[in-house]
Amino acid sequence: MADLTDQVIIITGASSGIGEATAQLLAEEGARVVLAARREERLNELRDEIEADGGTALVVPTDVTDREAVGHLVDTAHDTYGQVDVLVNNAGIMPLSMMAKTHEEEWEQMVDVNIKGVLHGIGAVLPIMKEQGHGHVVNISSVAGRRVFPGGAVYCGTKFFVTALSEGMRNELSKQHNIRVTSIEPGAVATELTHTITDEDILESFEGMEMEPLASIDIAESILYAISAPNRVNVEEVLVMPREQAM
């Protein structure tokens, strides 16, 4: 396994769930983590916990839908530490709804965060990674980037985009620029992700669902696996499902 000591790793969506667990785990492995999301207080708490455990963390409050703000995030990481080794493009929202209900505002928000937000991160790190001659972009897609379920037409569309984008990036960047690209595809993870759902029918359909979901640490471990693999290895896709989840 490659050593993560002092690697500079930017994590979007670090204020809860998968991003938070990933920041904690990678900091324990010695990485210097740069924490981005909108909820500054949550990021500050996480930074304090990481530092109390002897790790290094930097908070840069960021709305990923704002391209300039994401540029500022990446520049701050680079100015502070002189390098950017990994971007974990994790921020995402999932306001599921049936298409017939035309929740157009939520469709647009998903495009803005799950698609444009991911592109903003990539656009900001690539010049630095090209210049330094190495890098790794970890995009958090989903099982929803492989399978489409009722209520998930737009959300799945955004995650199919992330999976396709990751494949295209690998084709163009891995050999030519020594930039590795991984698509992480979790099944159901117990996080705050469902809090953005407003469609009553979808919320009702979740009630009485009996299944043990994944924990955020399960996904953090797969991110660690991908980025700590030796440089000759490109961990392309990791699909991690709860044992009891059928689709």
Question: Per CB under 6 A, does 90 bind ligand NDP?
Answer: yes
- Among 7, 24, 97, 142, indicate the residue that binds ligand NDP (CB under 6 A): 142
Answer for which of 3, 48, 192, 200 binds ligand NDP (CB under 6 A) is 192
Distance, CA of 77 to CA of 75 (rounded, Å):
5
Q: Which is nearer to ligand NDP, 7 or 163 (CB)?
A: 163
Residues assigned a catalytic role = 155
Residues 116 and 69: their CA atoms lie apart, in Å, by: 13
Q: Which is nearer to ligand NDP, 40 or 178 (CB)?
A: 40
Task: Using CB under 6 A, pick the residue from 84, 94, 110, 235 that binds ligand NDP.
Answer: 94
Size of the site for ligand NDP (CB under 6 A): 29
User: Which of 134/146 has CB closer to ligand NDP?
Assistant: 146
DSSP track, 114-163: IIIHHHHHHHHHHHHHHHHT-EEEEEE--GGGT---TT-HHHHHHHHHHH
| Nearer of residues 178 and 185 to ligand NDP, judged by Cβ | 185
CB of 59 to ligand NDP, least distance (A): 11
We find the least distance from the C-beta atom of residue 169 to ligand NDP, in angstroms, to be: 17
Stretch that binds ligand NDP, among 76-84, 146-154, 173-181, 189-197 (CB under 6 A): 189-197
- The beta-carbon contacts of 93-97 under 8 Å, at least 24 apart in sequence, are 93/193, 93/196, 94/155, 94/193, 94/194, 94/196, 94/197, 95/155, 95/196, 95/197, 95/198, 95/199, 96/151, 96/152, 96/155, 96/197, 96/199, 96/202, 97/151, 97/197, 97/198, 97/199, 97/202
88 binding ligand NDP? (CB under 6 A): no
Per CB under 6 A, contacts with ligand NDP among 143-182 are none
Rounded Cα gap, residues 90 and 11, in angstroms: 7
Instruction: Please identify which residue in 31, 46, 113, 122 interacts with ligand NDP, judged by CB under 6 A.
Output: 113
CB of 110 to ligand NDP, least distance (A): 9
